[in-house]
Amino acid sequence: MSLTGTVESAERLGGEVIVRVDVGGVPASPLAVRVPARAPAAPGTRVTVGIHANDLLLFDRDGDRIRFDAALDRIS
């Protein structure tokens, strides 16, 4: 799966950058994405983010982690 959006901000953390990407509220926006420091991540840049289900960290409204398989159970 992939989502396309606009970089809102980029926080440099040495060898990596946490990029916040506005994808229009799907599934939640902005997404926080960890990328290598050399990746272009200037605010306003359009990016496509590839997502693998095993790499997702999901949280409920109370801030508790939701396991991906449990999230599917909640949807069905």
CATH of the domain at 25: 2.40.50.140
pLDDT bucket at 74, cuts 50 / 70 / 90: low
pLDDT digits (tens, 9 = 90+) for 23-61: 887 656 688 888 888 887 789 999 988 887 777 777 777
Give the Cα separation of 62 and 48 in Å (integer).
29
Residue 7 CA from chain centroid, whole number: 11
Number of domains in the chain: 1
Whether the predicted pLDDT of 75 surpasses 60: no
Report the pLDDT value the prediction gives residue 68, as an integer from 0 to 100.
63
To the question of pTM greater than 0.75 for the whole model, the response is no
Residues spanned by the domain of 29: 2-75
Report the pLDDT value the prediction gives residue 6, as an integer from 0 to 100.
Answer: 93
